[in-house]
Amino acid sequence: MKIRITGNQMQEEMLQERWQKLADWHEILLSEDTHHLGADYKGWVKLPEEMVEDLIIDLVETAREIQDKCTLFIVVGIGGSFLGTRAVIDALNGSREDCPEVVFAGFNMNGAYISKLKRRIANESVCMCVISKSGRTVEPLLSYAVLKDLMFAKYGYQEARRRIYVITDEKKGDLRPEAFENQFKAFTIPGNIGGRYSVLTAVGLLPIAVAGHDIRMLLDGAKDMQKADWSADGELLRYAAGRTLLQEQGKSLEIFEYFEGNLRYFGEWLKQLFGETEGKDGKGAYPACLFFSRDLHSIGQFLQQGRQIFYETMIRIEHPAEDMEIPWYAGYPYAGKTMEQINACAENGVLQAHQKAGIPIHEIHIEELNAFTMGQMIYFFEMSAALSAYVMGVNPFDQPGVEAYKKEMQALIAEL
């Protein structure tokens, strides 16, 4: 994976000073030091390398068992127990043809949405997995309660038991006793890995394997990035250095952009990763994501000439999965070229136009979209987010602000 920054007119000396601080934090994160901010939550840092082989085998075998039992796999979860998983499955173009379709629930409390799933449960062969680290989050637990009832009604207790899976904390929360009492197969989310850093645990790995994708490749990609050169003169810190500097210079929005539709949920995962990692103590850039060409014809106007409160992070796929030739018809100037050739011109055109407007842009170059590069990207952005937060002086691994709405909601529920 190559990363280069263009167009932001940042002086190398300013970046240089930043690099050293980031490299120092990188070393601390990798160390056994348990006294720094967020030290209880750095289990993800060495996870790719330390992943236990027996667990991978168990996940792959369980996925096979699920593939044999159903055509529809419902994954119930929210935030870190949902977004990364969907991001990877979507990026890899959904489930393989011979594997169950993976659909998601628990990220809303919308009766109509659950009713649609109810109809699918009635008509298809289904397995389901509920994922919640805390085992206490209202949204997924509500969906789980309804869907579990439907599963019991359709399959009867003994068979439903074999079709329901749980991924949760080892001890805490309500799902662990639930799994135990019903003898549901359960996997553990390690206590030292927070939700938004958990996609490479069973949280993401089980559903991704059910969708037919190679979780070893995913982990290998992450391991490759874990082992890459994160030193002060290495390229990788350029992004974290640039973005923290831009935020200090007053840019309050980071816009993630991609021309690949399959990355839309990766954008959602990035929103959570950066929003919850940095957005505290009045700090952080608001993370937004745009899908081009679609959004060039809506928000593109604002980017080019609107208020310059943002910087851009463009994720570029160098070799798209498929291409096709554009046919001829009278007077049509694009005939004989391919879709991706024209798409690349749009990509470079946007870059040039935005550079001319003085917009700071980081380009993240990915050779192609596959399990390995997804693993690389996941680890790259996790590390960049965590290091940026440390340099800003905030704890990357908590999200105290999320509690505020929960408190209000619980008070209102109590009045029902």
Per-residue mark of binding to ligand PA5, 62-91 (x: CB under 6 A): ----------------xxxx----------
**Closer by beta carbon to ligand PA5, 99 or else 203:** 203
Distance CA 216, CA 415 (A): 49
- Report d(CA 26, CA 46) in Å as an integer: 12
- Helix (H) / strand (E) element for 379: namely helix 371-392
In the window 389-408, what residues touch ligand PA5 (CB under 6 A)? 399, 402
**Residue 277 lies near ligand PA5 (rule: CB under 6 A):** no
In terms of DSSP bridges, do strands 72-76 and 126-132 run parallel, antiparallel, or are they unpaired? parallel
> Of 178, 276, 278, 347, which residue is the catalytic one?
276
Q: Name 89's Cβ contacts closer than 8 Å, sequence gap at least 6.
A: 95, 102, 207, 208, 211, 213
Return the closest-CA partner of residue 226 out of 6, 391, 26, 91. 26
The C-alpha atoms of residue 388 and residue 338 are separated, in whole angstroms, by 39
The first and second tokens of residue 97, run together, are 């043809």
| Positive/negative CA dihedral, 286, 14, 317, 90 | negative
Instruction: Tell me whether residue 406 is one of the annotated catalytic residues.
Output: yes
Distance CA(291)–CA(298), nearest Å, equals 11
276 is catalytic: yes
Which of 133/185 has CB closer to ligand PA5? 133
Kindly state the helix (H) or strand (E) to which residue 189 belongs, with its residue range: strand 185-189
Site string for ligand PA5, 158-197 (x = CB under 6 A): ------------------------------------xxx-
- Binding-residue pattern over the window 222 to 261 for ligand PA5, x denoting contact by CB under 6 A: ----------------------------------------
Per-residue string for binding with ligand PA5, 100-139, x by CB under 6 A?
Answer: --------------------------------xxx--x--
Whichever of 69 and 136 has its CB closer to ligand PA5, that residue is: 136
Indicate the residue among 133 and 163 with the shorter CB distance to ligand PA5: 133
* Least distance in angstroms from the C-beta of 194 to ligand PA5: 5
Q: Which residues of this protein are in contact with ligand PA5, per CB under 6 A?
A: 78-81, 132-134, 137, 140, 194-196, 276, 399, 402
